[in-house]
Each structure stands twice: as structure tokens, then as C-alpha cells.
Amino acid sequence: MLRFVARRLLLLVPVLFGLSVLLFAWVRALPGDPARALLGERASPAGIDRVNEIYGFDRPLLEQYGLYVSALLRGDFGTSIQTGRSVTGSFVDYFPATLELAGAALLFAVVLGVPLGYLAARHQGRLLDTVVVSGSLLGVVTPVFFLAILLKLVFADWLGWLPASLRQDPRIDATHVTNFYVLDGLLTGELDAAWDAVLHLVLPAIALGTIPLAIIVRITRAAVADVLNEDYVRTARAKGLSSRTVSVRHVLRNALLPVVTTIGLQAGLLLSGAVLTETVFAFNGVGSYLFTAITRRDYPVLQGFILFIALIYCLVNLLVDVAYGVIDPRMRAS
Amino acid sequence: MRWTVRSTRLRSFGAATAAFVVGGTLLSGCVASERDESGDGSTFVFAGSAAPKTLDPFYASDGETFRISRQIFEGLVGTDPGTVDPAPLLAESWDQSPDGLSYTFQLKEGVSFHDDTPFDAEAVCANFDRWYQTPELQQTDDKAYYYGKLFRGFESGPTAGNGIYDSCTADDELTATVNLNSPFAGFIAALTLPAFSMQSPTALEEYQDDEADNVLTTEYGTAHPTGTGPFVFDAWNQGSGEVRLTRNDDYWGEVASIERVVVVEIDTPRGRADALRNGDIDGFDLVGPADVAPLGDDGFTVEDRPAFNILYLAFNQAQAPFDDPRVRQAIAHAIDKDAVISASMPDGTEPATQFVPELVDGYADDVATYDYDPDEARRLLEEAGVAGSTITFNYPTNISRPYMPQPEDTFNVIRSQLEEVGLSIEPAAQEWTDYLEQVQSTPDHGIHLLGWTGDYNDPDNFLGVFFGQAGLEWGFDEPGLFESIAAPRELTTPEEQRPLYEQVNRDVMEFLPGVPLASPVPSLAFAPEVEGYVASPVQDEVWNTITIED
Amino acid sequence: MSIAESLEKADGLDDGGVNLWRGAWRRLRRSPTAWLGAVIVGAFLLVALAAPLLTSYEPASTQWAGQVGTSNVPGPSEDHVLGLDRFGSDLWTQLVYGARTSLLYGVISTLIGLVAGATLGAVAGGFATVGGRIGGVVDSALMRLVDIMLSVPSLLLAVSVAAVLGQSGTAIVIAIGVAQVPVFARLLRSSMLSQGQADYVLAANALGLRRSRIVMSHLLPNSVGPTIVQATLNLATAIIEVAALSYLGLGAPDPAIAEWGRMLVAAQDRFDEAPRLAVLPGVAIAVTALGFTLLGESLRESLDPRSRR
């Protein structure tokens, strides 16, 4: 197991290196330049040249790349052109928001998806099954931002049940330690602040979690259906084990494997969706910040953030593979 | 407060739903501790469109930073509430010497900075000297922009020797004299800019490092801004973009009624409007034109700022057929400005006749106008031999500027008007940054939309930035025009300048380098409980006048 | 098993492929979800192709722009069945022609993804199965490239590509196509790899058949099935992603273009007064994507050997 993990981590190196090259080339292939994005509509040519000089954008590309890589190797991801803040620092500021949102979305998807998928499988071909399956299909085909706008309209604007902008009511002067607002509230004992953060998570999490929910429902249903057809389950049934014992001990456990894999694969999907969801709900996270960085041509932020995201994405997948090994002993051997 | 009470009740209902949906009883025990929000009447939550860049206004030039600076800091000169006219603030009065080169300021007595440093002539001179001595690294247009622009030079660096600032002397405790090298009629008006606010010399000494590699993120710029204003800095959460201020109980003027201020960042107009409707915020800036009427109908207060901006359609004369005056006139006649306004700008916006808004000194009442007349447009196009030809129309996407709230709609309606007179339009859309590069740094564009929001009352701030020198945006080279725009800058008072600028406006509209379209009215919106917000054309809005009804 | 027998079996498998398709078709015809999908897709194609017959106006025509104000959009009237949209175009015309745009963008971008991804996957898979040692190196180099692409979330990848190409329909199509490349590459390679373990390939290899021939005439044809299914499903994703990119402000330079995503985004500001402007294109996107998904899923199930049980 350890060797497997080590090998995978080693494989990350060329991937991340390749990505850094591609990213470097990509940001410089973007039309427009960061100095103009910084100075706005009345930038003078001299002012633009001066900014480019300060940030070194007037140097030969190869030299710029050299500087970039040598800084990277020292763990320095640079500073944002727009805000002057360190890229790492900004990521630490924004990532907890996105992670909290993605976590809530995943929680929503799993907590609702696994039981629904299981129920659908147990009632295969009946009404419940059809409703669940077609409902989940609808979840997959509705554009995330459309769903987000509808949710916001219905639950925030019309019914007024839930907040739909920001991460917390600004009137609550909450203490922030980790920038995970729910966790912060629990840690500092400001339970009302934590609860308020939970409420602010509900609508964005549903919007973001719907596609993963749909996928988890379908995967669980398929996996459970497969397992139900396996000989050992039939045997267990024949042996007269209670259907409940059979469900838990045999069916769910064996059906979990594909579900876990799917959850890992959702990481990318969640991050893609986060860009859109965060925009709709004015939720200050990595997604919306990254998109702003693209429009403002903030080179260091683009390079740094995408590298971080890719790294996290790869690590999550590694984690999934490890979890796979834990659940399925057969994998451990190989 | 009615608003909060209602939302609290709804929240607890939402709470039940949420608990179900999230599927956890995780925190349901906490509902009981639902806060008593009745004390919240004195917190004012305001949404801007972006986070501030830094809290030291000297290194900023953007509206979001200045919005916060205006609460913490004050300058020698302010504006009369709701106008662009300079008015006493930290200086009670001032005198200009006959040669126009020295200004003597009488300072207000009994004012001190938030750190108890007294505000006196020494402090004034410390600020003027600090600006002048800005290290070379910070002299770029993304930092000490306004100083470089208006004072034209620093002590060191490439502009050394060009500056108009000479010296500052503390004549006595409350009298300071600033000496200039050459006349600057806009000097007093320029001092109304938040960039030239008075900052505590003690706090600057202790926390600011003007030599820092990154001066925007110094301790002073992120955590210790110290001024004389009605609010004191409390905290800035970089992740959520929230800036918190508290009331300055020792303020020399009218002490604020609200106790706390929170400024949050919501980047879309739609998002801000939704947040106001849902009670998350108490007010916001830059209302989208489509939201103005519905918000008003729903009982929210919409405050209009007197327009201090201009949106124009520019012709690139480096490209045929725009070098032909008949074509420019034809297009001017083809545009129905009222229709453009009704399709893409807030109600109350007036069409523009020239390249400065009406509030600016030097606005001329008798410029050449080009009324909506499609037949005349067709005739002129025919005469110029370009009827039915195709022209490129550049416009920006994904951006909303105060002078251009909905560029796509503006583009769309002008396009349909130009098609009406027989031109075909080739749309060219770009993201804001690429767009600016395209229309200002390349010769490759046709007609395009752009504009400007004035910083303070000075016609040069409009005419000079547009037509001060030959550039790729307009594609013409008219030395005569450039000289007539530069000439008034040698004069010492705005009164002497006025007739010259009026003539420039007349000449420009004769020449017709573009079509001034409108000065869109920027609006703010507030919850019904918020009262006493005084909108200012130059955004000189200080929140000590605000009350929130319980 | 003799070599001759192995080869016979290989040919037999090819026949099996035909039988597989025939069987799939039989199962497909019996599936109600397949029918539903087919009906939706059929209707969509019909609307897209017959657009000019369904409306008397031109798409993206803004001739009624003068009637639209910042807070009023004229509703249904005699001349305009569904009213006007924000830019003063006829909403019905825009919706109908929007089908055409979606079809065009969806098909072309999926084709780009399919061709580029399949080529990459086939080359990698081919080298991996019959390329020997060097083949392994080539394969893993190509797959690292795919890994890099996969390590960036697909929407972000599409946004990145579109941002470089500038604002045009072509940029969107290419961007979404590129974002699909890694999916197709992985899929084709892995199904070729599993085929590569089959006896007939080992045999053909041992026999010394030209490697390119093994790949072209045996490996590829047997690996194509899942790829085609994936393409159908990707059509649905592509249609949704076009909308997402439009939402983020990328897309054709003409704001009034008849494209559902663009229409949906433009309608956002007017949700309160004219919800139809957002709801109709939103539903159109969802239903069309649903059609392709249903069809693709049914196809997948019918091709799945396990479902033959």
C-alpha cells in the first residue's frame, strides 16, 4: 500500500511540472495584458510600460519562465497583480469557502443519493424506481446556474426562507480562525454564527450538489441492483437471513465500492460547478475569484490557483484509490 | 427594526427546512440561541462591487477603496454635500497668493487623528512631503496615480524636476502654506480627492513602509489606517472581503448615529439587488438599470447621484470612412439618444450634447448639435458614397461601468439604429481588458463605446484625457486642438479658464470625433429604514449622516 | 489452440461485433426510455432543421429594439407569439433558431473532442498493446498529457481555451471540444487495452501480422461501441456547457444571437418582470440534454453484455 501511494505521488511530479509549463504558456497566450487590466480605461502607454517593467513582463519569455520556476521551487507562487497579496495567502483565504461549499454539496448528494439509489434498486421497475431515476436524470441535464437562479428565486426571493448571498450575515461579527465559517463558529462557541453559516450554505449546496446527487443515485442503484443479483446474496436470502441483515452486511457493503469511486470523480465536477454557483450566490470562494482573475489577466493568480486545484484534485483521486483498497481487499493485494 | 425581525422569523422557518435538507441534526440544538437582533439597528451593511485595494488612500485610485477612505479619512478640502463644489473640511479657509503659486490654509481647531495625534500644520506638511517623497517603486500608475497625474512629478525618479510641488511650511500651529512651482488652477478642487486625505504622521511612521516591495499590503495599508473621519477602522477580512468600521465617538463634527459599518463585496448588480431584497444588506451602490424601477416599487429607496460622467461613441478616424466628416455627421444623425437611454440606462438619464457633463466648469450651452434625423443620415451617407457599407462596431462584454451600465444593450440598440439608415454592422465583442487594448492601443477598430467618470471638478479631467494628444483610440492628429486644450492649464483660477474650455467644447463638437451619448445617472438603493444618505456626484458620501430607523 | 483457429476466432469476434449491434438494436427498440429519448432528439432535430419554416422572422434580428426599455419587455402579441426578448428580437424565432445553434455547436464540438480524443487514445492504446517497450513509453507520455488535461476541471479547461481564442462561436466550439478530448482518449485506450488482452490479438501478434493492421482492423472496430455511446452522452454535456460558457460571458460577439445559453443569461436581469425569457430557453436546454442522455444511456445499456442476461 505504502509503495503504491509513494509511486502515485511520484507520478504527480511530471504531471504538475507539465501543467506549470502549459499554464505559463496559456496565461501569456491570453489576449490583453495585466497592466491594462490594472490601470483601466485611461492608462497611458508610459504607465503601462512602467507596470510591465516592475512585474518583469517585458523580459524575454524564457527568462520569465526561469524566474517563475525557480520561485516555484522555493515555494513562492508570486503575488497577485490586482491585489498585491501573495497567491498562497489568497488561496488560503478563499479555498475554505469553496471546500465548505463542496463538502456541503457532497454531503447533500450522499445523504440523499445513497438511500434513494438503494430504494430505487429494491423497487426496480416500479413507480418509485421510475420517479427516482427520471428525477435524477433531470438533475443531470439542468444547467447548474439555471438551477441556482431558480432556487434563489423560489426560496430566497419569493418565500424568503433562506439567505442567498454571502457566506454569513455581515451583522454577525463572527471571529474567524480557519475561514471555514461553520467550523469557526463551533470552535469559538459562537453557535449562532455557525448556524447562520449553515443556512447560507443550504441553497448553494443544493445547486452544486444536484448533479453529483443524480450521479450517486444512478450509481448506487446500478451497484445495488448488481449485488442483489449476485449468487451470494441469493444464498444469504435462501439461508433465511433477515432481509435487513442481508441489505446491510452484503448488499450495501459491496455496492459501496463504485459509489466511493464516483465521489472521488465528483471533485472536478464540484470545482467546475463552484465557479458558476459561487457567482450566482455572491459566495466568495476560489471559483469566483479564479474567474475574476481570468478576466483581469492576473497571471500569478491564474498559474498558482490552477496548480493548487490540480494538486488537490490529484490528491483526492489518490485518496479515493486508497479508500478503494480499504473497502475492497482484492485491490490491496495488487 | 422591522426588516430584521421579519427576516429572523423567516430564517427560523428556513432553519427547519435546512436541517432537514442538510440531513443533519448537526446544529439543531443551536436554534434556541437565535440571536437577539434588535440591537442591530445601528449596524449599516453596505455592498460595493469589489474589495478595496488597500486602506491607504494615497496608493489608490478606485471608487471601492475611496468609499471606505471617505469614512476614515478627511482632506483639507471637501465638497458641498451633493455638489462638485469645493468646500472647507479640515481647512476652514484658504487664500491664494496673487501669483497663484502659494496657498495658505487655516486649519480647523481641536481636531485629532484616531490615534490621538493632534491634527496641525506640522501634520499637513508631513502629508504633503510624504506624497512628494514617494519612492520610485511606488510612483507607478497603479499606486500613486493621482499624485503623479496632478502634481506631475515626484522628488526622485523619472519625473524628478517636473513636479509643481515646491514646499510646505507650518506658519503656526493652525496655518500651513503650500508653495507650487507653476500655477495649477485645479489645485483646490484636486485636494477633494481621497488620495490627498490627511493621515496620521505617527501611525504612518509606526506602521507604514513606503519603501515596501508591496506597499498595498503593508501593516498600515491592511490594518492601521488612521485618519480624522467619523469612523474608525476595525477589521478587514480578506477572504470574505468584509471591511468593518466603528463609530468615532470623539469626532470633531457630527458624530454618526450608526454604531458599526460593514462593507461587503458583491460583484454583480443583480446579486446586490437580491441581497438587499433579502435583508442581507442595508444598501448598495451601482444599481442595474433594470432594477431601479422594481426596487422603487417594492418600497426601497433609490437615490440618484447627479451624473458626473459621459458615455460616447467614438470614431476611429485612422480608418475609412470615418475620416470623412459627412460620415461622422451621418452616424450622429442616425442615433436616437432617447431610445438608447430608454433601452440601456436608468430612468432620469439625460442625453449628452458634448464631451463633458453639465456639472463641469466650461460646459457650453451653444455647441453644434446633431438631432435624430434618419433621412439626413441616409442623405449624408449617400453623398459620402458609403451607403450600405459595413462598419465594425467594438463593444465590451462582462463589464458594467457607472457611465456604461449595460454595454450590450447600448450596442444592440445603436446597431439597430445604424442598420435602419442602411449601414451593416460587424459586431466585435471583447472582454473588458482585451477591449481596452484593442481600441486604445491598436489602430484596428471601427466605432466603439467608451466613457469616463470625473474625479473632481476640472474640465481637463475630461477633455484632456480624451483629446489631449494624438492617440490610437481616435486616430486623428490635430495639433491645434491639442494646444487649445493645454492652454488653459497655464492660468491660475478656474474663472479665467472657463471661457477657454467653453470654446474647446464648441470646437470639439464641430469637429465631431465621436458622438457624446449620455451621462447615465448612477443610483444607490437602500432599505426603507435607512435615511439621510446624501448622494454626491463625485461619490463624496460620508455615512455620519445616515440613520437607521428602529 | 492453433494459430489458424485463433485468427478464425478473431474474425468470429468481428462477426460477433455485428451480432452485438444487431442484438443491441433489438433491445433498444423495446426500451421505453430509448423511445422517449429518440422522440425528444427527433423533435429537436426537426425544429433545428426546419427552423425557417416555423417562423416568418429572421434570427438575431433586433428590428424591434426600440420597443424594449430597461424595465419593460413587451409580452406576447399578435405579431410575436411569445413576445420580444431583451434585445428586441422575436422570442419564438430566437428559440427555434436556438435549436439550430445548439445542434451545430454540440455536434461540432463533440466531433472535435471525439476525433482528437479518439486519435490520442487509439495511438496510445495501439502503442500500449502492440508497441512493445517503446510503445509503453509513448503510451505513458501520451497518458500523462491526458492526466494533465484531466487534472483541470473541464469547465475551467473550456474557459481557458475560450479565453485565449477570443469572443466567437468558433472559440466556444473548440473550447468545449478540447475539454472533451481527455474523456474520449481515456475511454478508447482502456477499451483497446482490454481488447488487447484477448487471445486473438496475442495470436495475431505472435503470427507477425503488421501491427498497424492489427490495430486498424481488429482492435479499433471492437472498441468503437463505448466511444459512440459516450459521444451521444457528450452531446448533452456539450449543449449544457455551451450555455455555461455563455453564462460566463464567452461566446459569439452578437449579444442577440439565437443561442439558448446566451438568451438565458441575458434574461437573468429581467427575471422578475419577464420570467418566460429565462424559463423557456432553460427548459429547452434541459429537455434537449435529457433527450440525448436518455438515448445515450439506453444505447449503453443495450450494448452492455451483462444486460443480455
- Over residues B257-284, the pLDDT tens digits come to 999 999 999 988 888 998 998 888 999 9
From the list A26, A31, A269, the residue facing C160 with the nearest CB is A26
Give pLDDT tens digits for A86-106: 999 999 989 999 999 999 999
For residue B538, what is its C-alpha cell? 463625485
> Which of C63, C68, C70 to mutate against chain B (most B CBs within 10 Å)?
C70
CA–CA dist C24, C29 (Å, integer): 9
Distance to chain A for B142, nearest Cα, Å: 6
Question: For residue A287, what pLDDT is reported?
Answer: 85
The predicted structure's pLDDT at residue B10: 36
Least confident span in A291-300, B118-127, B163-172, B185-194:
A291-300
Pairing of strands B175-180, B165-172: antiparallel
The model's confidence at residue C21, banded by pLDDT at 50, 70 and 90, is low
State the residue range of the domain holding C128. Answer: 3-8+16-32+97-254+277-307
Q: Cell numbers for B202, please give them.
A: 505617527
| Yes or no, beta carbons of C269 and B343 under 8 Å apart | no
Q: What is the pLDDT of residue A275?
A: 76
**In chain B, pLDDT over 70 holds for what percent of residues?**
93
Predicted pLDDT at B22: 39
Residue C196 near residue C128 (C-beta atoms within 8 A): yes
Domain count along chain C: 1
- Read off the CATH number of the domain in which C138 is found: 1.10.3720.10
| Residue C56 resides in a domain | no
Residue B511 parent element (H or E)? helix B494-511
pLDDT higher than threshold 90 for residue C2: no
Averaged pLDDT for residues B136-143: 89
CA C63 – CA C44 distance, rounded (Å)? 27
State the average pLDDT for chain B: 89
Determine, for residues B21 and A206 on separate chains, whether the beta-carbon distance falls below 8 Å.
Answer: yes
pLDDT at B195 over 70: yes
* Residue entry with cell 420597443: C67
Pick from A93, A96, A172: CB nearest B238: A93
Instruction: Check residues B229 and C11 and name the one with the higher pLDDT.
Output: B229
Q: Which residue of chain B is at minimal alpha-carbon distance from C73?
A: B343
pLDDT of residue A246: 67
Give contacts of A38 with chain B, Cβ < 8 Å: 142
Amino acid at C182: P
Mean pLDDT is highest, among A30-34, B398-402, B527-531, for B527-531
pLDDT band at A248 (very low <50, low <70, confident <90, very high): low
| Cβ-defined contact of A269 to C152 (cutoff 8 Å) | no
- B-C Cβ pairs (cutoff 8 Å, strict): 80
Tens digit of each residue's pLDDT (9 = 90 or more) over B493-548: 889 999 999 999 999 999 999 999 999 999 999 999 999 999 999 999 999 999 99
* Minimal Cβ distance to C70: which of B289, B412, B430: B289
Q: Subunits touching B (CB < 8 Å, at least 3 pairs)?
A: A, C
Q: Please report residues of A whose CB lies closer than 8 A to that of C243.
A: 143, 145-146
Residue B29's pLDDT band, with cuts at 50, 70 and 90, is very low
Angle subtended at Cα A111 by Cα A106 and Cα A114, rounded to the nearest 5 degrees: 105
Residue of B nearest to A95 (CA): B239
pLDDT of res. B372: 96
Window from A59-68, B434-443, C9-18, C190-199 with minimum mean pLDDT? C9-18
Interchain CB contact of B214 with A (< 8 Å)? yes
Cell of B359: 456639472
State whether A41 and B436 contact (CB < 8 Å): yes
Residue B33 has pLDDT above 70, yes or no: no
Name every chain A residue with its beta carbon within 8 A of the beta carbon of C286: 138, 141-143, 146
Tell me the domain boundaries of chain A: 33-76, 87-333
Chain A neighbours (≥3 Cβ pairs under 8 A) are: B, C
Dihedral angle, C-alpha A183, A187, A188, A193, nearest 10 °: 30
Which helix (H) or strand (E) segment holds residue B96: the answer is strand B91-96
What pLDDT is recorded for position B549?
Answer: 84
CB contact under 8 Å between B345 and C167, yes or no, is no
Q: What does the alpha-carbon distance between residue B136 and residue A46 come to, in Å, rounded to a whole number?
A: 15
Task: Report the CATH number of the A87-333 domain.
Answer: 1.10.3720.10
* Whole-Å CA distances, B527 to A136, A169, B41, B275: 40, 16, 12, 11
* Cα B257–chain centre separation: 26
Q: Is the pLDDT score of B378 beyond 50?
A: yes
Q: What is the mean pLDDT of residues C236-247?
A: 86
Average pLDDT, chain A: 84
- DSSP-derived 3-state class of residue B450: strand
Put simply, whether C137 touches A (Cβ < 8 Å) is no
What is the model's pLDDT at position B525? 96
ipTM: 0.85
Residue C163 has pLDDT above 70, yes or no: yes
Question: Model's pTM, two decimal places?
Answer: 0.85
Percent of chain A with pLDDT over 90: 14
DSSP string, B233-269: EEEEETTTTEEEEEE-TT-SS---S-SEEEEEE--SH
Q: Which three cell numbers stand for residue B347?
A: 430612468
Answer yes or no: is C74 within a domain.
Answer: no
Q: Give me the mean pLDDT over the A6-33 stretch.
A: 85
- Hey, of B1, B9, B21, which one would you mutate to test binding to chain A, going by the most A CBs within 10 A of its CB? B21
pLDDT, average across residues A207-222:
88
Chain B residues with CB under 8 Å of C66 CB are 336, 339, 343, 413, 416
pLDDT of residue A244: 66
Amino acid identity of A185? G
